[in-house]
A and B are shown apart, each in its own frame.
Chain A
């Protein structure tokens, strides 16, 4: 996994609440058995005027020019600013895969759906929950070319005017993301504890160890 330390990136705003994972990456693209290549289909139904299908060449598809990510001033955006409950709906990790593949490194919103939030950290993507009023003020300040600096170690966002906003993140998640660490390898360091747990549990609930 790619580590996340500090970035200064262009911010793209999507002013909409409850953006679900079906909107982030529609189901037809979930038929892929690969982990990459979802970026061109990110927000497919909002981004293009035609119906998207897997393996389509997106460079020739008609674009919805009203959609924010299609506008010239937001090309190369790395930070997504949006509203509450972002990523609600299905558990598809294809949603963070698509966001990351598109080029996003961080998402700022008042709240995130739990499964989506968790999935982001497995993919080098940093979801930042800020109070709704703070998100509102970022929306107010935002003009084309607006860039924010995000420092994960310091847990701060710095605005172009130099204002610093602190954000919360779990220590374990922060450590793993800062170092780009593989969760499985870390968990397997506790292999003895897992076996010990299994041995105790097999006595109390033997039916979980017989079939």
Chain B
């Protein structure tokens, strides 16, 4: 019998019941709840008179609508405020723990889960949010669900699922200077496309993945959904186990030792069979910049905006033409000639302490270019913010001319007051460059925190791997 993939192991470990056609009822160990995709789920429970199966397996936080300035004044937009208040009321009514806006533990749902040890290796984790794939970085099966499924998990602690196929992406060798987890995952999406992972769970492996911290691994798994895969996975190693030691919700005492033993088996067997295997040479990856309105429309910073006339596939060519028009770019334009209006460092992709340290190292002692209207740094959680301030990162940012904000999803999707105005161009560390994503008519270029910070200083994109040297000369 061939060995098992990590996904096979996690799946088998959670099957409660399987129908003849392979549809299975799988047990969910943790549900994260936020204000946008839960009101109708709680309403569904009320309408049917159902109670949550287990309240203790749910953890709620408001993040999408939360203001990142003047918190003491509350939420100005009445529609946003009602949604956040609705979450508070629902959690109180159904007995679910919620970190509210005044709680230091509040933050982006995918940042606080691992930070609290509320999402752990070996778990099944769901949330009404596609970036739930983030938590797969710890060897957990984590994926986004719709609101009907949020209600289903509340009511049954299970989900009806069909097993996905197994894909392995190996990033072999070492990355070069200025290349981060974000560049690795953008390069992967550029290679396999935004639909490349449809129907698969993607396991990321190889030397370059192993070399990443937990924060970096979360960045990679976060964007598995941008490659079409609901779930991304990385096998457990010492980096994983060290990360979860002593987190507030991590197992304690004898439970910890039991957990550690169990988690050590959370990797694919050497003879495991994958439906698809892709190899990528880490050394070939350069800092990445998206130029279009889909994350797959990405090039290296030293490349030029591509020419749709050279694309053979008619549907792809049409997408490229539409993207160029929306982004107001010309084929052949150098990426480093693209000038920015706003800079956003934050989101569930890149708002963890390591991301802020990396951006601060680039910004230290420099000034944001006068042509930049706004450069903002939004930490992923109250605790990330506190840690960054203890390290003096906030001072580095504010002295350079960045705004230092309170935690939340912010301008990743602009549900709060942070947004682009029509025509504005932004270097963003978030995960989606769709039309209107960061504000009606706004134009988004996805990059790493280092690339975003450097673009803020220069006013246009620069290659971080060589730029530092140029500035010193």
**B37 contacts A187, CB within 8 Å?**
no
Stretch at the interface among B146-154, B211-219, B356-364: B146-154
Q: Which of B16-24, B373-381, B386-394, B395-403 contacts A (4 or more CB under 8 A)?
A: B16-24
Known contacts A111-B198, A194-B156, A211-B249: does B23 contact A122 (CB below 8 Å)?
Answer: no
Contact of A22 among B128, B152, B250, B437 (CB under 8 A): B437
For residue B310, CB closer than 8 A to chain A, the reply is no
Interface hit among A84-92, A100-108, A159-167:
A84-92
Of residues 250 to 270 in B, which have CB atoms within 8 Å of A's CB atoms? 250-252, 255-256, 258-259, 262
Contacting pair B195 A184 (CB below 8 A): no
In the complex, whether A2 has a CB less than 8 A from a CB of chain B is no
B245 sits at the interface (CB 8 A): no
Q: Chain A residues with Cβ under 8 A from B80's Cβ?
A: 31
Whether the pair B152, A194 counts as a contact (CB closer than 8 A) is: no
Binds B, one of A13-21, A71-79, A143-151: A13-21
CB of B282 within 8 Å of the partner chain:
no
Chain B residues with Cβ under 8 A from A17's Cβ? Answer: 315-316, 318-319
**Contact in complex: A88, B25 (CB < 8 Å):** no
* Cα(A33)–Cα(B152), bound, Å: 18
Q: How far is the CB of B294 from chain A (nearest CB, A)?
A: 5
B255 touches A207 (CB 8 A): yes
| B152-A184 in contact (CB<8A) | yes
Verify B194–A85 contact, CB threshold 8 A.
yes
Q: Is B56 an interface residue (CB 8 A)?
A: yes
Residues of chain A lying within 8 A (CB to CB) of residue B37: 30, 91-93
Partner of B415, one of A28, A113, A114, A122: A28
Q: Given A119-B148, A170-B21, A211-B56, does the pair A88, B27 have CB atoms closer than 8 Å?
A: no
Interface size class of chain A, counting residues whose CB lies under 8 Å from the partner chain: 35 or more
A28 to B417, CA, bound (A): 11
Chain A residues within 8 Å of B385, by CB: none
Q: How far is the CB of A168 from chain B (nearest CB, A)?
A: 11
Closest residue of chain B to A121 (Cβ to Cβ) is: B148
Q: Report how many residues on chain B are interfacial, defined by Cβ distance under 8 Å.
A: 83
Residue A66 is within 8 A (CB to CB) of chain B in the complex: no
Contact of B228 among A31, A33, A113 (CB under 8 A): A113
B129 x A91 contact (CB < 8 A): yes
- Any chain A CB within 8 A of the CB of B274? no
Q: Which residue of B lies closest to A20 (CB)?
A: B434
Give Cα A17 to B262, complex, Å.
Answer: 43
Interface centre among A27, A35, A123, by most chain B C-beta atoms within 10 angstroms, is A27
Chain A residue numbers with a CB within 8 Å of B229 are 114
Contact string, A191-211, partner B, CB cutoff 8 A, digits 1/0?
A: 101100110010011111011
Contact partners of B144 in chain A: CB under 8 A = 90-91, 115
Q: Are A122 and B146 in contact (CB under 8 A)?
A: yes
- B168 close to chain A: CB less than 8 A: no
Contact with A along B124-144 (1 / 0, CB 8 A): 000011101000000000011
Most chain B CB inside 10 Å of its own CB: which residue of A54, A90, A118, A173:
A90
Selected contact of A207 from candidates B19, B53, B82, B251, CB within 8 Å: B251
Max chain A CB contacts within 10 Å: which of B22, B48, B195? B195
A and B contact pairs by CB, cutoff 8 A, 9 listed: A17-B318, A35-B40, A35-B43, A91-B128, A96-B146, A115-B146, A184-B50, A187-B25, A187-B158
Closest A-B pairs by Cβ, 7 of them = A207-B251, A93-B146, A122-B148, A33-B39, A119-B146, A91-B144, A172-B23
Seen from chain A, the residues whose Cβ lies within 8 Å of a Cβ on chain B are 15-18, 20, 22-23, 26-28, 30-35, 45, 51, 54-55, 83-85, 88-93, 96, 111-115, 118-119, 122-123, 170-173, 183-184, 187-188, 190-191, 193-194, 197-198, 201, 204-208, 210-211
